[in-house]
Amino acid sequence: MAVLPLNYMGDKVLRKKAKEVKEVDKELETLIGDMIETMYDKQGVGLAANQVGVARRLIVFDNVGLPYGTEPMVLVNPSIIEAEGKCQGEEGCLSIPELVEVVERAERIKVAGLDRQGQPVELEAEGLAARIIQHEIDHLDGVLFVDRVSPLKRNILVSKWNKIRKELVG
Ligand SMILES: [Zn+2]
């Protein structure tokens, strides 16, 4: 396994709509392992494949119901099949380090996809777990959390980010 370099807001791959995974093969298994290692190396709770430069529909996230790092979760071709309620909560993103903002998300969701063996799975999540999954699926559609706040807040975040990005990647 390897820690992969991250893409940051401003990198085109983060704005691409990721492509459906056709087959869960050895190559994908390696990518899954590397993404999990990268997520934990950066102390993240979730990571989408396009954040490491691969525009395919794959996300990993920490099972936040357990102590941090106990159980990495994997969803291939995830889609939200039910969503209920609304809740506000602070979000950050490994691709926009140092910035956080309150974002509205559905409170409870049901998600369908494939597990890391390629078997169909459905899972239900609420609160923080639901928030993380919604954030990661957004990535696969080229959407970042700054797109889900008011235009005023978005402008503030983007101008802060432009300074941070300069120091981070030049
Ligand atoms: Zn993110």
Domain encompassing residue 140: 12-169
Are residues 131 and 89 in contact, defined by beta-carbon separation less than 8 angstroms?
Answer: yes
Task: Report, as an integer, the average pLDDT of 131-156.
Answer: 98
In angstroms, how far is CA 126 from the centroid of its own chain? 16
Look up 136 and say whether it is catalytic: yes
Domains contained in the chain, number: 1
Q: Tell me: pLDDT of 104 over 80.
A: yes
Residue 140 C-alpha to ligand 1 middle, in angstroms? 10
What residue has token string 């999954």?
Answer: 133
Q: Tell me the pLDDT tens digit for each residue of 115-141.
A: 999 999 999 999 999 999 999 999 999
pLDDT of residue 94: 98
Task: Report, as an integer, the average pLDDT of 20-43.
Answer: 97
Residue 47 C-alpha to ligand 1 middle, in angstroms? 6
Which CATH number is 28's domain given?
3.90.45.10
Return the closest-CA partner of residue 89 out of 81, 101, 97: 101
Domain contains 131:
yes
Give SS3 for 85.
coil
pLDDT of residue 1: 82
Domain contains 6:
no
Q: What is the DSSP letter of 3?
A: P
As a whole number of angstroms, the distance between CA 27 and CA 161 comes to 34
